[in-house]
Chain A
């Protein structure tokens, strides 16, 4: 109880409240503009947050992460262009509603479902905390190594249809983090005699290049567009009442969001697909799906908004990020010498509770903001895409250069920007590179520290949690092979889709 109060008190500071307000409202606006997503915004702001207290920096980033999907629903519903790619399924039923003259109903349903999903996710996070506090300390070096390995495998396998590319990029990420002076043996690795490589390749520089600069290059090299969203008329609170008639779908979808949010590499997109399929299968009018079914819209929005809180679970409890945004947040923890993982729940539990309260507050702020300002956002959406590219380029400079005032960093970031553009054009995933860097670093450190206690390789899995994790790795691989063989038998290789865009913006 004392910790809960201390956590609540953390928010009662003007700078934290300001960060919460700016983060959540900024996140909605960023989410609403097609072409900029939370990853771009978080990458740009990341170095600026290093100067703040951990709670201030994390609240700001969490605000953007948690609220961007609310905003992303607006263009998905109004102009059939998802603001963030995880709102893709929202447009399936939202846009037909707009065409039928029910835009306000669709938008308010999307907000209400998002709010439901967001709050459900936080509730699960709070309820799971005592369990996490008990389980997390059971994770030693071996267990964290195996969990990170499981994370890498899941990230690769989650990219169905592009597993080879995802594997290659994850391995590239692991390789990137090995460059520089080895911290234990003090030997150079792949520095080619270049002094600037001795300190390694900075994760933030790579993140800024791959997410922010690549998006700027992507927009600047593509034809100019200016999305046109019409203002909405009608009561925005109508959706709340309608949502109450679909509580089952909203709750199950949020449940999918929570479970899949906790598993590295899966996240919003898989959660959205699974809950949409569930909603369609259990609906009395499945034929309405894709033509303006409220359950479809609710399933999609509730699922993706339940993910941010759930994604914090592996990050806070084990220090293992499941996707790019939490990987970026991990660097904020590291910069402030707060190491997420088992000790966090013992030493800094007030910070954990502070983050929970911040998540609750941001959902409320966003909901209130959206009820009154949706029409303002429809005007912001109209920013021409190339102009947006110019602005992202200018903002990226602040992010890269403020790190350590290095022109070399800018050149490296520009190089990764071009790589990111190529990957985006080919619709290949970017996230495996980032997770490869982060999880690769964790694997190297943890395997080394586990070594003195290992006499045979089997000692690696002689503890219960390690054995469970190992069994999960085997199960995941076996299930994948089974699915692959089934696909081979049915000759149904996947067609082109925008799946991986979800992980880029």
Chain B
């Protein structure tokens, strides 16, 4: 009994709410990936095993599943912390901002870098809870500075917007190159 208790204390670690959910997802995810190893990698006859294309995925996924199982064990043996599901809800709420990011990236090639960035900065600032004209103005100003720095000055490789095609000749080229 005391030995079992000692072993239990070996696995006990500090946790934060939601740890066990993450531990389960990690274990299931790694086992699912490991189950696909025969279909997703090849074994070449004649080659030494460390040179096999399957070798490193097998090593990493086995290690991952093993560590994930131990992590889950540690989580299960530690005291339960309240707030597990509210924490998971917070994780899921971040998907909204991931959506904002992907939407922004999808819109840039169509509406152009400058207009999209200014619009996106103001909308997201509003969404983040700022309502004052100063905050929205600061967001728009910062967006312009970012565009000027990266696209106009550093000439970072970003596409010109399709919307610029409707502009008059001289202005179109200018906007495509610098904004």
**Which A residues are closer than 8 A to B by beta carbons?**
47-48, 51, 161-162, 164-165, 167-168, 171-172, 174-175, 178, 182, 184-185, 187-192, 213, 216-217, 220-221, 224, 384, 386-387, 389-391, 393-398, 400-402, 405, 407, 410-411, 413-415, 417-418, 421-422, 425-428, 436, 440, 443-444, 447-448, 451, 484, 488, 491, 493-497
Contact = CB atoms under 8 A, between A and B. Distances in A.
Nearest to A495: B14
B129 interface: yes
Counting chain B CB atoms within 10 Å of each CB, the highest count among A187, A188, A389, A415 belongs to A187
A220 B67 contact: no
Given A167-B63, A390-B124, A174 B158 contact: no
Given A189-B53, A493-B12, A394 B121 contact: yes
A387 B16 contact: no
B40 A190 contact: yes
Contacts of A447: 50
Contacts of A182: 53
Contact of A393 (B66, B100, B150, B157): B100
B114 interface: no
A493 B128 contact: no
Nearest to B93: A221
B76 interface: no
Contacts of B109: 405
**Majority SS at the chain A contact face:** helix
How many interface residues does chain B have, given as a range?
35 or more
Nearest to B101: A414
**Majority SS at the chain B contact face:** helix
Contacts of B48: 451
Contacts of A402: 150, 156-158
B163 interface: no
B94 A398 contact: no
A417 B64 contact: no
Counting chain A CB atoms within 10 Å of each CB, the highest count among B101, B104, B109, B143 belongs to B101
Contacts of B130: 384, 386-387
B146 to A, nearest CB: 6
A389 to B, nearest CB: 7
Contacts of B50: 447-448, 451
B90 A221 contact: yes
A405 B135 CA distance: 30
Contact of A425 (B71, B90, B129, B158): B90
B124 A488 contact: no
Given A398-B146, A495-B14, 13 more contacts: A48-B154, A167-B66, A175-B61, A221-B90, A386-B128, A387-B130, A393-B100, A394-B143, A395-B146, A396-B101, A397-B105, A421-B91, A484-B10
A493 B9 CA distance: 8
A425 B87 contact: yes
Counting chain A CB atoms within 10 Å of each CB, the highest count among B41, B60, B155 belongs to B60
Contacts of B63: 167-168, 171, 174
Contacts of A398: 146, 150, 156, 158
